[in-house]
Homo-oligomer: A and B are copies of this chain.
Amino acid sequence: MAAERSGGGDPARTIALLWRKPPEPKPVGRKPKVSVDQIITAAIAVADREGLGAMSMARVAQELTVGTMSLYTHVPGKAELIDLMADAVLQERDLTSDGTWRDRIKHYADRTRAVYQAHPWMRDVSMVRPPLGPGLMDGQEFVLAALADAGLEPRHVTTAHIAVEGFVHGAAASEVDDQQLEEKTGESGDSWWGARQLFWDDYFDVERYPTMTSLWNAGAYDTGGTLSDTVRDSFDYGLEKLLDGIEGGLR
């Protein structure tokens, strides 16, 4: 299921961690073997390599050659750790403001897509109650600024913002799903579809699905490229059309 995220924990503690508010100095007491940043880095490394499902507290502790329970001294729990991981990778986008508002939104989409590519486990992190850290906030500011520059009314800026964010994150997530499955199952998307050839042979009903049949006969599915290419092209097309629509609403 979607990985649970900062649920019961104290919001103030989580937000302080997200913004790396330094804890008041501790002059006495045992020296820490690990830092919050080390934990986040190790957790991201594990999730990158083995998926979010494999990112257990025990596994991260092992990575740092530390006892499992030591992590809980630095991080409230697994849900909060995932928040920290997500905000950290969103910061990698490093957004630069050049060009028209459309260029900037496409830049945002590309950078966000790159984050998902590099960290496929982001697919499993819900962005509905997002980690309110710098990575997320900087991205929001960037998109809002672009939309405001486009000339939308303030009220429409916020509406369009949610639509664009939804499209971008959704597209990036879908695109990455395939790779994630590939890593987990060791089977590529193309091979997966190949193994289901028997569906088309034995179950596909030409009369029930006339449009699919005629599209097939018209060669609409002879793309030449891989599945991933097709999906990426489709999302580029979709974003373009969404921006066309937003732009058209201005006139």
Contacts and interface: CB of A to CB of B under 8 A. Distances in A.
B11 A163 contact: no
Interface in A211-250: 211-212, 214-215, 218-221, 230-231, 233-235, 237-238, 240-246, 248-249
B15 A235 contact: no
Interface string A181-213: 100110101001101101100110000111110
Interface in A1-28: 1-4, 7-8, 11-12, 15, 19
Contacts of A140: 212
Given A123-B2, A203-B15, A212 B144 contact: yes
A41 interface: no
A126 B173 CA distance: 9
B124 A1 contact: yes
A173 B170 contact: yes
B234 A240 contact: no
A2 B183 CA distance: 13
The copy count of this chain in the complex is 2
A128 B178 contact: yes
Nearest to A200: B132
Interface stretch (A62-70, A84-92, A152-160): A152-160
Given A127-B174, A158-B215, A171-B170, A234 B163 contact: yes
A162 B215 contact: no
Contacts of A170: 166-167, 169-171, 173-174
A43 to B, nearest CB: 14
A169 B174 CA distance: 10
Nearest to A217: B154
Contact of A238 (B15, B19, B148, B242): B242
A171 B68 CA distance: 38
A31 interface: no
Given A2-B123, A185-B8, A132 B178 contact: no
Contact of A209 (B4, B137, B198): B137
A6 B135 CA distance: 34
A18 to B, nearest CB: 8
Contacts of A210: 141, 145
A180 interface: yes
A129 B159 CA distance: 31
